[in-house]
Structure 1
Amino acid sequence: MDSKHQIYRPEESKEDLMAEKLTSEDESNELLGDIDFMDTSSITVPESLIDQVIGQDEAVEVIKKAAHQRRHVMLIGSPGTGKSMLGKAMSELLPVEELQDVLVYANPEDNNTPRVRVVPAGRGKQIVDAQKMEARKKVQTRNMFLMLIVMALIVYAYYTGQLLFGVIAAALIFLSLRYMLPKEDAMVPKLLVDNNNKKKAPYVDATGAHAGALLGDVRHDPFQSGGLETPSHERVECGSIHKAHKGVLFIDEVNTLRLESQQSLLTALQEGEYPITGQSERSSGALVRTEPVPCNFIMIAAGNLDAMQGMHPALRSRIKGYGYEVYMRDTMEDTLENRNKLIRFVAQEIVRDGKIPHFTRDAVAEVMREAKRRSGRKGHLTLMLRDLGGLIRVAGDVARAEGASLTDAKHVLQAKKMARSVEQQLADRYMERRKDYSMFHSSGDEIGRVNGLAVMADSGIVLPIMAEVTPAQSKEEGKIIATGKLQEIAKEAVTNVSVLIKKFLGEDITKKDVHIQFIGTYEGVEGDSASISIATAVISALEGVPVKQTVAMTGSLSVRGDVMPVGGVTQKIEAAAQAGIKTVLIPKSNVGDVLIDESIKGKIEIIPVSTIGEVFEYAMGSQRTRLIEKLRKFASDAKIGIALPESIHNPSRSI
């Protein structure tokens, strides 16, 4: 066999190609190397949150510096990569400072401008309790004085023979004095921010908070007269920015805050204090505005890439100018050190959950394998650890349901089937429906029909593509017409393929219209991974050469005919295998990205290709010899470079 057509295996290293399948024990040893442990109960879990962060070394270093220097931080990255944990860890790293309590007092000069006082932590509660006790004593003294007056009036009326008049007079005096005299408890301050018995800097998560919860608010008072009103200072409520004073304020998806709230947040960041006022103009609290309340916090803003688009430019400039911006990593290199960290992550999740049994060595190896698979990159491990943690918990639940003392590899494999995402389940139903109605074929040869492969969320699907050639409707030129709700990148991919068609055929196609149909793409098509599928379908239709329906393919295509790498090859291969496809063509650059499940091995042949010529060799039917010879002759006559295979034979290589 020619070395060019060497047989590959998904688990093989780049240098050595092993012919024999690895046993599960060998696979565990290969994945875990010299890491010695029997189960995760022997793995030490660090107590500090910052030491529990996996794979985000750059972000951890920034958080440590920001905590020491009290800088703001913006964390941008995919969900589940550790942004919230880094925020909590920062509050543990902040230098120990004297926390403060905030009191709000009534203002006799202006009821709508309550006064604010700051005292050491724990002192606020003592002040409020002392003043409540003093007010209670004053109330008791006043009530006793009123009772003496009332009793004196009743006794006087009794002896003068005017008892009824005396009772009425006593009642009127009692009520008038009770409601006309100032209330002693109205002068008792309200403890707005209480940091009593707190040893660490506060951490406040204000994700999704509305204006009142974030910036503070003043409650509405429905009874504003007749002695039934509530004093203004008692209706004041602090916001998250005030609770986070001398601590950390964490806001995820910061772009979801209204622009007005972002502007107010910017003011709080700049001034280190912010007055509290009613947030609703229809509330009586809108008239109340306190003196500035301290809010000297460190802000950690988090979000996806789109968070920066909806973020107030001045707020982002403030964070960038007085802090750091960090882009979180989605994957980490597959090294021995990082594998050790991932093993520790499994132990961390088990300890944090507290309801699932520890994992055996084989179970951890299966989790490690899944981390490699989900990374989508050769030589990398995924850092989408929230999803991976979900798999760990489901596997533990399966083991617990069976009454097992330890979670084994079989439990992890069962969990992978049970813990499928909604998108994966939707893709399964999608494929079932297509198969029931024969929307794609998995046997025979057909002209102008190709089984492409695509990704729906985190699951693969088979994407049938058909091409047909007709006389041009326009007298001036022929057109390439693609249908199937194509998005921008997909349209550009079709344009690139049209260049190749002209180059490979070497003939005038201005008198022909080429129709390309993406079958069943009701949700739309985006990306260029169907480029080699489009090119194969169109060339097949133009030249009348049938395409094997047992073959599916994925790959991007350059205008010179080179097959370029795409994403999601593992998911696409698994989808093809489940659909009954026998052979899959993938870009040669993606060979290291393939990590398919054990259940798929042996069901499908995976062939890496590097040029469109190789695609034709392996995808076309028995008449491919005529097509390739024609292309080679044209390339020679026109003296242009077209990458074609040196020999034509039945392929026998797979990954």
Structure 2
Amino acid sequence: MSNHTDTDDGPPDTEAEETASEPGHSEEVAENGQPDADEEASHSDETAGEPEDVAGDQPHDEHGDQPAAGDEPDDEMWPPTGPSHDESTIADEDAFDSNPDHDRTRGNEPSDTEGTAGTIEELGSEVEVSAPVADDPDEDDLLGGLLIDSTEDVEIPDRLVDQVIGQEHARDVIIKAARQRRHVMMIGSPGTGKSMLAKAMTELLPKEELQDVLIYHNPDDGNKPKVRTVPAGKGEQIVDAHKEEARKRDQMRTFLMWIIIAVVLGYALIIAGQILLGILAAGIVYLAFRYASRGGDAMIPNLLVNNADTTSAPFKDATGAHAGALLGDVRHDPFQSGGMETPSHDRVEAGAIHKANKGVLFVDEINTLDVRSQQKLMTAIQEGEFSITGQSERSSGAMVQTEPVPTDFIMIAAGNLDAMENMHPALRSRIKGYGYEVYMDDTIDDTLEMRQKYVRFVAQEVANDGRLPPFDAEAIEEVVLEARRRAGRKGQLTLHFRDLGGLVRVAGDIARAEDAEYTTRDHVLQAKERSRSIEQQLADEFIEKRKDYELQVSDGYEVGRVNGLAVMGEDSGIMLPVMAEITPTQSGGQVIATGQLQEMAEESVQNVSAIIKKFSDENIAEKDIHIQFVQTGQQGVDGDSASITVATAVISALEGVGVSQDLAMTGSLSVRGDVLPVGGVTHKIEAAAKAGCKRVIIPKANEQDVMIEDEYKDMVEIIPVSHISEVLDVALEGEAETDSLVARLKNITGSALQDGSVAGPSSPSPQ
């Protein structure tokens, strides 16, 4: 049994008649009913100045000491004793000791999930879409075989947990964590459903364990308020009972004061004949009564955490919270003397860790919390309780420290990959030691069943917004196609639902502006243009400016100049010219690359130089190779996707052979000349088409990842290659020179192209 907190299994005695009719209170009322008249008479003197019906609602002193039976308590003794108090205290202690929920270590024990059994397994994607399905659906059907005309034909699940789509691994972990009350850390890209999964967990936790927290004045030490927990909903009843009793005392005191004043004035006026002396005496009486009554409010407890109206386990989002909002605080009191001060227990404010007791505490971007807050959070997780004190050293609240307040929450931390770098190692150790770490998927397999879930996703977005026209079948198909494009991989669908939901909302806004009955495919296409990211808008402006100043060339041949391709952000591509020049040097030759190259780009240039040295029949040790990435801007170039571009430019400059300027290319390169896959090929191809290029070279391994818009399909020819010799065969001018270069490369590098066994890595290189 804790030395700091008590629990109350029932409201004050005045509430007995109300609670008698409520389920689960019959035994409680029988044990804690009204005392008989004799007990009330004997108890009235001992509880003077305290509510009769809440005498047993005061917390114990720090050591739980009680006055000995039969001892007469003095006026300052607290808490008051007597038959009524003793009975309620015994009942409270029995309830406390018999209730396993009060064990502070219960965070590591299985939680009672009664009421959720049979439905917990249906979390998220396991819930079937409620709509008619074709008997033999086509594998290419974008609706997954659903026979619907619009999103109106799709039923939306009521529970948030049933609306989760994808993230199979994370979903299973959340189910286990909800059952066993484990902590979870979810790491992944923004918009992949981390906060939705955290909120979904609250629907799987039982509500019957919720508690209210009361803060009481401590007469022994005003700077150490006492803490008491009671079942949810009882806190309001206790506070109301205290307020009512305080109001009655104030009325009685005021009535007595005016009687005394009237007697004093009457005596002074009628008998003594000293009216001025009577007025002075009446004033003294008035001030004396007011001074004596100033401590009455100190007996009213502060309802720190109120879960009376909470219908499910609490969910508190503490993302970016400062120390006071996260850990609790004590307000500053500018009036600390002269009878104007505010009692310390009335200035205590709960933090998110206290409000999340018996529920879920969600902290996104966990690395943004300062180190001190992370350390305190560790303590709250480990101990299951945390005292509240003033967070500012300059505040009077810094001297106040409450008894420990319960913090039995499930911690769900989230963030991007960089979140683990600045996260306190001990905090991560506690989460990992008492819970799970989950990496959120970015894509999911493109199956008929999953396309059905995406149809439901569109319907959910329309229903949740409440202001969008329903999407017809063609509009839904276009959204599913966009999910394929954004995945960037063949046979995959994106799980970045926040961005995809933005497209749905913009399309719906366009349809509503036109007073359309349904959102159509044309509206979705318009939305894709209007909802372009900042990077896409900058890329388009970048391309237009280059055209104006003739920095982009899309016809003819030039020596040492190649049109490379790059990505800006996640969903936009740009054309990036690369130029090479060979100059003699008196010292050892060097490869000099300019254009704000990052580490990975510099390494790719070194790999290219190895091929050049092995390929060339000239002594390049006496030459400098200059490589320029033209107008890359302040951000520079990162990634190795320009490797074949650099190699082609240098070979062109060495041999003096022109490169076709209606051709753009992207691809990584091994030191043996094999072309390896890269990322963002779809956006790069579209950027080349916008710039006026007629052909684009991509790695053969990326051929299945191409999902360009229909408008670009007739504008550009896509050429997949697997070796640098194939790149030169397409890019360089003339037949004889090209053939000789290709033959030399094949013989020197020993390319696997000849036996058809070229293989690249399983995943694209980073950009």
Q: What residue number does 1:7 align with? A: none
CA distance in 2, matches of 1:209, 1:243: 14
Q: What residue number does 1:651 align with? A: none
- Asked if 1:501 corresponds to 2:612, the answer is yes
- Asked if 1:210 corresponds to 2:210, the answer is no
Q: What residue number does 1:299 align with? A: 411
- Which deviations, in whole Å up to 9, do the C-alpha atoms of 1:504-545 show, x marking residues without a partner? 224321011110000101121000000000000000000000
Change (3 A) 1:62 1:642: closer
Q: What residue number does 1:13 align with? A: none
Corresponding residue to 1:235 among 333, 347, 352: 347
Corresponding residue to 1:372 among 484, 490, 503: 484
- Asked if 1:591 corresponds to 2:700, the answer is no
Q: What residue number does 1:399 align with? A: 511
Corresponding residue to 2:248 among 137, 140, 148: 137
Contact kept? 2:722, 2:753, Cα under 8 Å: no
Corresponding residue to 2:528 among 416, 421, 434: 416
Quote how far apart the aligned CAs of 1:361 are.
Answer: 1.2
Q: What residue number does 2:722 align with? A: 610
Equivalent position SS for 2:562: strand
Contact kept? 1:574, 1:596, Cα under 8 Å: yes
Quote how far apart the aligned CAs of 1:436 are.
Answer: 1.3
CA distance in 2, matches of 1:68, 1:393: 35
- The amino acid that maps onto 1:459 is S
Equivalent position SS for 2:203: helix
Q: Which deviates further from its counterpart, 38-47 or 216-225?
A: 38-47
Corresponding residue to 1:263 among 334, 359, 375: 375
CA distance in 2, matches of 1:297, 1:617: 64
- Which deviations, in whole Å up to 9, do the C-alpha atoms of 1:210-235 show, x marking residues without a partner? 11011100000011111110000000
Equivalent position SS for 1:600: helix
- The amino acid that maps onto 2:502 is G
Corresponding residue to 2:364 among 252, 258, 262: 252
Change (3 A) 1:630 1:86: closer
- Which deviations, in whole Å up to 9, do the C-alpha atoms of 1:459-486 show, x marking residues without a partner? 10000110000001x42x1111000010
Corresponding residue to 1:188 among 288, 295, 300: 300
Q: What residue number does 2:493 align with? A: 381
1:9-408 to 2 correspondence within 5 Å? Answer: 30-32=141-143, 34-159=145-270, 160-408=272-520
**TM-score if structure 1 supplies the norm length?**
0.92
Contact kept? 1:114, 1:289, Cα under 8 Å: yes
CA distance in 1, matches of 2:744, 2:328: 78
- Asked if 1:641 corresponds to 2:750, the answer is yes
CA distance in 1, matches of 2:389, 2:207: 31
- The amino acid that maps onto 1:610 is S
Quote how far apart the aligned CAs of 1:54 are.
Answer: 1.1
Quote how far apart the aligned CAs of 1:52 are.
Answer: 1.2
- Asked if 1:526 corresponds to 2:633, the answer is no
Corresponding residue to 2:572 among 434, 455, 459: 459
Quote how far apart the aligned CAs of 1:35 are.
Answer: 2.8
Q: What residue number does 2:546 align with? A: 434
CA distance in 2, matches of 1:625, 1:411: 53
Quote how far apart the aligned CAs of 1:492 are.
Answer: 0.1
- The size of the alignment, in residue pairs, is 616
Equivalent position SS for 1:108: coil
- The amino acid that maps onto 1:299 is M
Q: What residue number does 1:18 align with? A: none
Equivalent position SS for 1:329: coil
Quote how far apart the aligned CAs of 1:628 are.
Answer: 2.8
- Asked if 1:491 corresponds to 2:583, the answer is no
Change (3 A) 1:63 1:468: same
CA distance in 2, matches of 1:200, 1:27: 42
Q: What residue number does 2:656 align with? A: 544
Please tell me the root mean square deviation across aligned C-alpha atoms, in Å: 1.7
Give identity over the alignment, percent. Answer: 63
Change (3 A) 1:120 1:467: same
- The amino acid that maps onto 1:520 is Q
Q: Which deviates further from its counterpart, 157-166 or 517-526?
A: 157-166
Quote how far apart the aligned CAs of 1:625 are.
Answer: 2.7
Contact kept? 2:596, 2:632, Cα under 8 Å: yes
CA distance in 1, matches of 2:721, 2:741: 20
CA distance in 2, matches of 1:349, 1:634: 55
Q: What residue number does 1:470 align with? A: 583
Quote how far apart the aligned CAs of 1:574 are.
Answer: 0.7
Structure with the larger RCO, 1 or 2 (CA within 8 Å, 6+ apart): 1
- Which deviations, in whole Å up to 9, do the C-alpha atoms of 1:335-381 show, x marking residues without a partner? 11111111111111111111111111111111111101000111100
Change (3 A) 1:352 1:178: same
Q: Which runs of 5+ in 2 are unaligned?
A: 1-136, 756-767
- The amino acid that maps onto 1:641 is G
Equivalent position SS for 2:712: coil
Corresponding residue to 2:647 among 535, 538, 551: 535
Change (3 A) 1:635 1:302: closer
- Asked if 1:556 corresponds to 2:665, the answer is no
Quote how far apart the aligned CAs of 1:197 are.
Answer: 3.2
- The amino acid that maps onto 1:355 is R
Contact kept? 1:253, 1:304, Cα under 8 Å: yes
Contact kept? 1:493, 1:528, Cα under 8 Å: yes
Q: Which deviates further from its counterpart, 69-78 or 419-428?
A: 419-428
- Runs of 4+ more than 4 Å apart: 26-30, 633-636, 642-646
Quote how far apart the aligned CAs of 1:32 are.
Answer: 3.2
Q: Which runs of 5+ in 1 are unaligned?
A: 1-25, 647-655
- The amino acid that maps onto 1:220 is H
CA distance in 2, matches of 1:108, 1:629: 98
Change (3 A) 1:403 1:635: closer
- Which deviations, in whole Å up to 9, do the C-alpha atoms of 1:583-614 show, x marking residues without a partner? 11111111111111111121111111111011
Quote how far apart the aligned CAs of 1:95 are.
Answer: 3.4
**TM-score if structure 2 supplies the norm length?**
0.79
Quote how far apart the aligned CAs of 1:184 are.
Answer: 1.3
Change (3 A) 1:419 1:35: same
- The amino acid that maps onto 1:411 is H
Contact kept? 1:267, 1:274, Cα under 8 Å: yes
- Which deviations, in whole Å up to 9, do the C-alpha atoms of 1:534-566 show, x marking residues without a partner? 000000000000001100000000111111110
Equivalent position SS for 1:493: helix
Equivalent position SS for 2:230: strand
Equivalent position SS for 1:87: helix
Change (3 A) 1:360 1:615: same
Contact kept? 1:91, 1:202, Cα under 8 Å: yes
Contact kept? 1:506, 1:634, Cα under 8 Å: no
Quote how far apart the aligned CAs of 1:67 are.
Answer: 0.2
